[in-house]
Structure 1
Amino acid sequence: MKNRTPVAVLASAVLTLSLAACAPEPEEEPTPSASPSPVASEPAATPTPTPVETEPADDPVVAPTCETMIPASTIEIFEGHGWTYEEREFQIGPDVVEDGLACVWGDYTVASDHVQVFGWAPIGAAESASAQQKLLADGWLRVDEAGHTYITEDPAYSISVDEAGYGMTYEFGDGWVTQADTKQSLVLIIRP
């Protein structure tokens, strides 16, 4: 009988070396260097990030301008009739609301009270409540409709009214107030 042990040992050694060549090399801990050097390797698996709940960033409110407060199509109609606008302070009665803007559109080449008014202002809760009380004390009327609060002038004293009989009207919201020469015109205001 032939001695097969050296052949079996040799085959076993070749097999072990072949398997060792296929096995991944142990990872070495990287050592810090002054400048990174490119290394060709397969991309590492990216771990799935764990969602972290954060508060949304408070974006600053960009105040509207007379060109952005109402739709461009409405501006085109006004300009088609030769109307331009005047910028004014936003007022609730005699009180000026800081950082607000009122835009009065009309034909300023002729004397006329035929104008369209659109206004917007930021307003705090306490200031809003106070302004509403002052208007109501001066005879204005409160209308709560579809979750909105409107303070409108008494139609008996209105220069012009919309189809529903509302004249100059303020709409008070959470942190803002808008104004238009009629309640119906409030829908044209694009709030920031």
Structure 2
Amino acid sequence: MTRRHTPLALATGSAMILMLLAGCSAPEPAETAPPEAVPSSPVATPEATASEPALPDPTCENIIREASLEELQSQGWEYQQGPFMIGEMQIDAGVSCTWTNAAEPGGNILQFGWAPLTAAETTDAERTLESQGWIREEGDGGVYLTEDPSFALNIDADGYGVTYFFGDGYAQVADVKQGLVVIERR
């Protein structure tokens, strides 16, 4: 098979060969410092980076998933908001929510809570709960501390009662461990 080259292709190819040959015959440049690296994409600087918006203060309506909030409210559940407590330690920036449905017999109660914690507060809280007989479990991204099931008022299908989850910079609490999935990780 014979290839036919157009005059443009021949001219372009010839120009390319000439450029390559010219590069070969050029004298060697004197040693100089290498040029500074130029980023291939823009690099964000502190001035150019938009700051993340601050999260709103935690409330009973924004610490749980929106679908869960809507489901509870549609079924007549109401909440009472209070301070986030770990034993006797109150975390002022946190919130604890007790949900009840007066129309349901038996007085079912759900509890969800969230609070920001420093590393020192987390260490103190974990030690306090463990000294009171709470059961520690390491988990993905944090630590679970669950009340002794023999003293729990309610337990989930896996046998867990009130459970705290300590993540990086925050804590969550629910009346049963399975309830923690309803809480948003902020």
Counterpart residue identity of residue 149, structure 1 = V
The equivalent of 2:60 in structure 1 is 66
Q: TM-score, normalised by structure 2?
A: 0.69
Q: How does 1:132-171 map to 2 (within 5 A)?
A: 132-171=126-165
For 2:90, which of 77, 85, 96 is the aligned residue?
96
Unpaired runs of 5+ residues, structure 2, are: 1-39
For 1:54, which of 46, 49, 69 is the aligned residue?
46
Given the superposition, is the C-alpha separation of residues 107 and 147 from structure 1 closer, same or farther in structure 2, using an over 3 Å criterion?
A: same
Query: How far is the alpha carbon of 1:143 from its aligned partner?
Result: 0.7
Counterpart residue identity of residue 88, structure 2 = P
Q: CA RMSD in A?
A: 2.5
Q: Conserved in 1, the CA contact under 8 Å of 2:83 and 2:96? A: yes
Counterpart residue identity of residue 176, structure 1 = Y
Q: Conserved in 1, the CA contact under 8 Å of 2:101 and 2:107? A: no
Task: Give distance in 2, aligned partners of 1:180 and 1:161.
Answer: 11
Task: Give distance in 1, aligned partners of 2:141 and 2:180.
Answer: 15
SS of 1:89 mapped into structure 2: strand
Query: How far is the alpha carbon of 1:83 from its aligned partner?
Result: 1.5
Given the superposition, is the C-alpha separation of residues 107 and 191 from structure 1 closer, same or farther in structure 2, using an over 3 Å criterion?
A: same
Counterpart residue identity of residue 188, structure 1 = V
The equivalent of 1:117 in structure 2 is 111
The equivalent of 1:189 in structure 2 is 183
Query: How far is the alpha carbon of 1:49 from its aligned partner?
Result: 9.0
Bigger drift between 82-91 and 61-70 goes to 61-70
- Identity over aligned pairs, percent: 37
Unpaired runs of 5+ residues, structure 1, are: 1-47
Q: Conserved in 1, the CA contact under 8 Å of 2:156 and 2:178? A: yes
Q: How does 1:17-96 map to 2 (within 5 A)?
A: 51-54=43-46, 57=51, 59-96=53-90
- The structure number with the bigger radius of gyration is 1
Task: Give distance in 1, aligned partners of 2:153 and 2:67.
Answer: 25
1:173 aligns with 2:170: no
Task: Give distance in 2, aligned partners of 1:140 and 1:50.
Answer: 50
Given the superposition, is the C-alpha separation of residues 177 and 138 from structure 1 closer, same or farther in structure 2, using an over 3 Å criterion?
A: same
